[in-house]
Amino acid sequence: MNTTTLFAAWIFLLMSYILPPAKAAAVPTRPEGRETAKERTERYREIAHDIATVVLDEPPLYRSKHGRARTAALIVAVAYFESAFAKHVDKGIGPYSRGDYGRSWCMLQLNVGRGKTAEGWTGKDLVNDRRKCIRAGLHAMARSFGTCRRGAFEHRLAAYASGSCRRGHAASAKRMRAADRIFGAKPPPKLPAPKD
């Protein structure tokens, strides 16, 4: 089993721990978001593989022994709170797939509006290519970590959540704590050292 496949399998376990596919599929949702437990499980596997691919290709948010795994756990936690991995949000189907009055796109709910991400991607780009969503989301989290570095560690995502380090503390703490909880639920696999 190669590194990406091993890492993706672990990320799938984290996703299934925080929101089991069968449980999520049983919850009533918008018609465009409905799917069977089997369909949701397969989409979880695809999401996990995309997260693994991006995280292995980017500098991790955490400079620690399990920095990449912790980074992946944080992406899972943010996606859970922003979209509950819902199909219509993930794929950009219908008007209810976007939050913030239609400005926030993809399962990480990046506030792009009609503009572009720092990478030059539109909201449609983010829902047409999930890896772009994950990559742009990871970059936005890294910017938030840097911008909010003077505050409490659990508030490092405040700028991501609210656009400002002075607001969004509760949302940041909720996501950071969830990431710690799911990271601790399953031992992470051994991954290669981060690139410099």
Which range has highest mean pLDDT (24-38, 90-104, 124-138)? 124-138
Residue 49 lies in a domain: yes
pLDDT reading at 193 higher than 80: no
pLDDT reading at 196 higher than 70: no
The percentage of residues in the chain with a pLDDT greater than 70, rounded to a whole number, is 95
d(CA 147, CA 180): 21
Tens digit of each residue's pLDDT (9 = 90 or more) over 148-174? 999 899 999 999 999 999 999 999 999
Residue 73 lies in a domain: yes
Lowest mean pLDDT among 53-57, 76-80, 190-194: 190-194
Local confidence band at 99 (pLDDT 50, 70, 90 cut-offs): confident
Residue 194 lies in a domain: no
Q: 93 lies in which domain range?
A: 3-185
Tens digit of each residue's pLDDT (9 = 90 or more) over 12-69? 999 999 999 988 766 667 788 888 889 999 999 999 999 999 999 999 999 888 999 9
Residue 152 lies in a domain: yes
Total count of domains within the chain: 1
DSSP state letters, 85-141: T-HHHHHT-SGGG-BTTTTEETTTTEE-TTS--TTS--HHHHHH-HHHHHHHHHHHH
Residue 190 lies in a domain: no
Q: What angle do CA 13, 94, 43 make, to 5 degrees?
A: 20
Residue 191 lies in a domain: no
Supply the CATH number for residue 76's domain: 1.10.530
pLDDT score, position 114? 87
What pTM value is reported for the model? 0.94
Residue written as token pair 């995280």 = 55
Residue 149 lies in a domain: yes
Residue 134 lies in a domain: yes
